[in-house]
Amino acid sequence: MAIGTWLTTERGRAATLVVPPFVYALLLLAIPVGAVILFSFWTQDFMTVDRTFTLDNYREIATTPVYGLLLRRSLFVSGTVTIVTVLLAYPIAYFVSFHVPAHRKSLWLFLITIPFWTSYLIRVFLWKVILGYNGVINSGLQGLGIIDEPLTFILYNVNAVIITLAHAFAPFAILPIFVALEKIDRSLLEASQDLGETRLTTFLRVTLPLSMPGLVAAVLIVFIPTIGDYVTPELMGGAGGKLIANMIQTQFLQLNNAPLGAALALVAMVSVTAISLVFILLNRRWLRGR
Amino acid sequence: MTRPLIHLESIHKYYGDYHALRGIDLDIRPGEFFSLLGPSGCGKTTLLRTIAGFEDVSSGNMFIDGRDMKRVPANQRPTNMVFQSYAIFPHLTVAENVGFGLRRDPRPKAEKAKAVEEALEMVGLRGYGKRAAHALSGGQRQRVALARALILKPKVLLLDEPLSALDKKMREQMQVELIRLQRSVGITFILVTHDQEEALVMSDRIAVMFEGEIGQMADPETLYRRPNSRRVAEFIGKMNILPGHVTEGGPGVTVDVAGLGRAEVATEQAPGGVVAGDTAVGIRPETLAILFEGEETTRRVVEGVVDEVVYYGDMTYYDVRVDGVPEPLNISMKNLIGRPVLDVGTRTRVAWDERSLVVLAR
């Protein structure tokens, strides 16, 4: 009974299929996360890392106000981006699913993914061109005589970060909502109207509850990665628009304090996970309660 | 006749260039079980959906209970529908599904809950209220859909092929239950079906539709015994169609039937009207009879050869080739005691009756 015969059994074949991606995931996900966790309990001692186990990093994060401020600001920005993105994505997904003829739907989805053809960085720079002091919006509005002075609240602050991120994540929100809407049996909508509901009440009683899985997916898909984004706040946020991810990057790369950066990263990760879980649980409860 | 509950006047419906309904005139009486029967694509579902208000009509008038339905949306019509897919809301329980249309009902909550329970009991689903809708079987979904529509006490209940998704046994059971239900609630039912047997079993009256038009509208017996055209005759049950030639004269109609000979028929045996000249003559398989050895008859007799035998247990279906008849005659015989099942190739006599002929308009 060699390994050769075991490989031909049901379990053996399953294992052969699973092992390569499992190893891949282990190398690229579990090990780095493990390393981050480990680092967060060490301390930086000028050029070397002191490997004695300590909670000093967490103590510092808890006692230094700037970290809390950045974390709260990050959660606020991610939360706002999520709400804005999902609110804007829902009508688009609804339109494509319900009003675009079936043979045009794939074309529409294709058009929605066009922003991905250019690099993320270039799109961020394009927003700079649009929102800038002498940018498209300001010179346009000035040319029309609507404003005298260029608007300053649209670049190098939190607003600019929110606008840019909401645009960047729009397709990620549109697609899951679209899929959920596509799965709704259209006769359910007719049934609702047949039973006396208007189009609006049909939407509230049938379409919206049935599209909740897509909405939940969209919220999580937008909320979770935006916490970790540091490119957009770096380029668009100015001094007042820096987020927790920028601080993590600074700790790792500029201040050469990997252990503190690791601890910050973990705190951010745990916060996001906690908020997401609460959101999912609330949502489940709300859906079941109906 | 009492005032019709539903009155349709030359209803036309176009989808772009496609002419889906071509001038439908229809009166449906209160309390009637009415069926729209036809092959797929004949417009029967479109007609039902225009009555429900899901489709606009391109031209024509529609009155329900004396009220003009022009620009009245589906949610304000006194009709409710049982959908082909049942359209049970998957995110709601059975009770919430049944009570869906009661939201605007001013009655207190407890009374509405009681109404839901009563509706469930009426369709035989007592105690199912708390179940999740997505966990129901096909037959149960159908019952929920019925309860959900009937709880609103509509003037008309529209049923879009409600039994087509069920297996044969369940279908036959539901047919009986639907008839019983319709009699007890007294609501007008309009059933769309492509199953002629279902329509015959359940309906007070049937409209047979072809290509956007009503081919014939009558009670089941008239439809079966006196079809007014060849396509109706062929759609409803089995019918032997023979070439014939009408020579007018006398009080009745004289027709030469290929292979069978000259026959005198009453004018009501030509419901589509009589025109002298070539025509088609129909005769049902069960009105023909094989004469087994020793049997005699006063009816007319032709000779033939058994071409095909299909044994069904209670019945045997024969194809008998008769000289002068282009297609073998289809004959169905009850397997009574002492009757043999004939072999292919047997020479036999076939009895037929002038009274069972139908002269079909071309």
Same domain, B125 and B18: yes
For strands B300-311 and B358-360, give the pairing.
unpaired
Residue B169 placed within a domain: yes
For residue A255, is it within any domain?
Answer: yes
Residue with tokens 């004289």: B254
> What local confidence, expressed as pLDDT, does residue A290 receive?
43
| DSSP class of B53 | T
Please report whether residue B359 resides in a domain. no
pLDDT at B170: 87
B169/B212 same-domain check: yes
Statement to judge: residues B33 and B173 lie in one domain: yes
Provide the total of helices (H) and of strands (E) in chain A, helices listed first: 15, 2
User: What stretch of H or E contains B303?
Assistant: strand B300-311
Asked, for residue A280, whether it belongs to a domain, the answer is yes
End-to-end C-alpha distance for chain B, whole angstroms: 32
A259-A262-A263 Cα angle (round to 5): 90
The residue written with tokens 């059975």 in the block is B94
State whether residue B186 sits within 8 Å of chain A by CB: no
What's B147's domain CATH number?
Answer: 3.40.50.300
Q: Within the 35-64 window of chain B, which residues sit less than 8 Å (CB to CB) from chain A?
A: 52, 54
Using the 3D structure, point to which of B283, B298, B317 is the last residue of a domain.
B283
B170-181 pLDDT per residue, tens: 899 999 999 999
A33 located within any domain: no
Q: State residue A155's pLDDT score.
A: 85
Residues B123 and B200 in one domain: yes
- Verify whether the Cβ–Cβ distance A194 to B73 is below 8 Å: no
Question: Per residue in A193-220, pLDDT tens?
Answer: 999 999 999 999 999 999 999 999 999 9
Q: Is residue B201 part of a domain?
A: yes
Report the side by side order of strands in the sheet with B6-15. B18-28, B6-15, B59-64, B67-68
Tell me, yes or no, whether B190 and B291 share the same domain. no
- The CB density around residue B221, as the number of other CB atoms within 10 Å, is 9
The answer as to whether B126 is a domain residue is yes
pLDDT one-digit tens code per residue, A22-34: 999 889 999 999 9
What is the extent of the structural domain holding B261? 238-283
Residue B233 lies in a domain: no
A35 band by pLDDT with thresholds 50, 70 and 90? very high
| Together in a domain, B49 and B99 | yes
Angle formed at CA A115 by CA A114 and CA A117, multiple of 5 degrees:
70
Contact flag A194-B103 (C-beta cutoff 8 Å): no
| Average pLDDT value for residue range B160-169 | 89
How many structural domains comprise chain B?
Answer: 3
Distance, in Å, from the CA atom of B185 to the CA atom of B155, rounded to the nearest integer, reads 11
The answer as to whether A277 is a domain residue is yes
Residue B352 has pLDDT above 90, yes or no: yes
Binned at pLDDT 50, 70 and 90, residue B334 comes out as: very high
In a domain, A193, yes or no: yes
Same domain, B304 and B272: no
Contact at CB, A193 and B87, closer than 8 angstroms:
no
**B65 and B185 assigned to the same domain:** yes
Q: What is the pTM of this model?
A: 0.84
To the nearest whole Å, the CA of A210 is away from the closest chain B CA by 7
Antiparallel, parallel or unpaired: β B67-68 and B59-64: antiparallel
Instruction: Find chain A residues with C-beta within 8 A of B142's C-beta.
Output: none
Convert the pLDDT of each residue in B22-41 to its tens digit: 999 999 999 999 999 999 99
Whether B134 shows a pLDDT value over 90: the answer reads: no
Nearest to B85 among A187, A192, A196 (CB): A187
Q: What is the pLDDT of residue A160?
A: 92
ipTM of the complex: 0.85
Place A289 in a pLDDT band, splitting at 50, 70 and 90. Answer: very low
The per-residue pLDDT for B272 is 83
Phi-psi map region of B216: left, alpha, beta (phi>0 left; psi -120 to 50 alpha):
beta
Between A49 and B52, name the one with better pLDDT. B52
Q: What pLDDT, in 10s, does the model give residues B179-229?
A: 999 999 999 999 999 999 999 999 999 999 999 999 999 999 999 999 999
Of the candidate ranges A30-44, A142-156, B335-349, the one whose mean pLDDT is the lowest: A142-156
Give which of A195, A199, A206 to mutate to test B binding, by max B Cβ within 10 Å.
A195
Strands B6-15 and B18-28: antiparallel
What is the pLDDT confidence band of residue A283, given thresholds at 50, 70 and 90? confident
pLDDT > 50? residue B291: yes
Search chain A and give the residue with CA nearest B153: A195
Closest partner residue to B148 (CB to CB) among A193, A195, A201 is A195
- The pLDDT tens digits for A158-174 are 999 999 999 999 999 99
Query: Do A187 and B91 make contact, defined as CB atoms within 8 angstroms?
Result: no
Q: How confident is the model at residue B249 (pLDDT cuts 50, 70, 90)?
A: low
Best B50, B84, B100 member to test A by mutation, with max A CBs in 10 Å, is: B100
The answer to whether B195 touches B160, Cβ cutoff 8 Å, is no
Structural domain of residue A104, as residue ranges?
66-289
CA distance A286 to A212: 11
Domain presence at residue B360: no
- In this predicted structure, the answer to whether residue A288 has a pLDDT above a threshold of 60 is no
What residue type is assigned to position B99 of the chain? G
CATH number at residue A277: 1.10.3720.10
Do A197 and B103 make contact, defined as CB atoms within 8 angstroms?
yes
Q: Are residues B148 and B12 in the same domain?
A: yes
Number of domains in chain A: 1
Higher pLDDT, A135 or B210: B210
Does a structural domain hold residue A217? yes
> How far apart are the C-alpha atoms of A63 and A41, rounded to whole Å?
17
A32 assigned to some structural domain = no
- Provide the shortest C-alpha distance from residue A156 to chain B (in Å): 45
Q: Are residues B216 and B350 in the same domain?
A: no
Contact criterion met (CB below 8 Å) for A169 and A77: no
Instruction: Answer whether A193 sits within 8 Å of B75, measured CB to CB.
Output: yes
pLDDT digits (tens, 9 = 90+) for A243-263: 999 999 999 999 989 999 999
Q: What is the pLDDT of residue B361?
A: 74
In a domain, A27, yes or no: no
Q: What is the pLDDT of residue B267?
A: 85
**CA–CA min distance A286, chain B (Å):** 12
Q: Answer whether B148 touches A (CB < 8 Å).
A: yes
* B169 pLDDT above the threshold of 60: yes
Q: Are residues B186 and B155 in the same domain?
A: yes
Residue A44, CA distances (Å) to A48, A259, A266 in order: 6, 6, 17
Interchain contact B152–A (C-beta under 8 A): yes
- In a domain, residue B1? The reply is no
Task: Determine the number of helices (DSSP H) and then strands (DSSP E) in chain B.
Answer: 8, 20
Mean pLDDT for all residues in chain B:
92
Looking at chain A, which residue has its C-alpha nearest residue B101?
Answer: A195
Does A206 sit within 8 Å of B75, measured CB to CB?
A: no
CATH number, domain containing residue B349: 2.40.50.140
pLDDT at B24: 95
Q: Which among B217, B327, B214 is positioned nearest to B281, based on CA atoms?
A: B327
- Kindly report, residue by residue over A63-121, the tens digit of the pLDDT: 999 999 999 999 999 999 999 999 999 999 999 999 999 999 999 999 998 878 888 89
Q: What does the pLDDT average to over B132-161?
A: 93
Q: Are B266 and B178 in a shared domain? A: no
Q: Which residues contact A256 (CB under 8 A, 6 or more apart)?
A: A44
- Chain A interface with B: residues with Cβ < 8 Å: 185, 187-188, 190-198, 201, 205-206, 209-210, 287, 290
Which of A47-56, A106-115, A261-270 reaches the highest mean pLDDT? A261-270
Residue A7 contacts by C-beta under 8 Å, 6 or more apart in sequence? A13, A15, A16
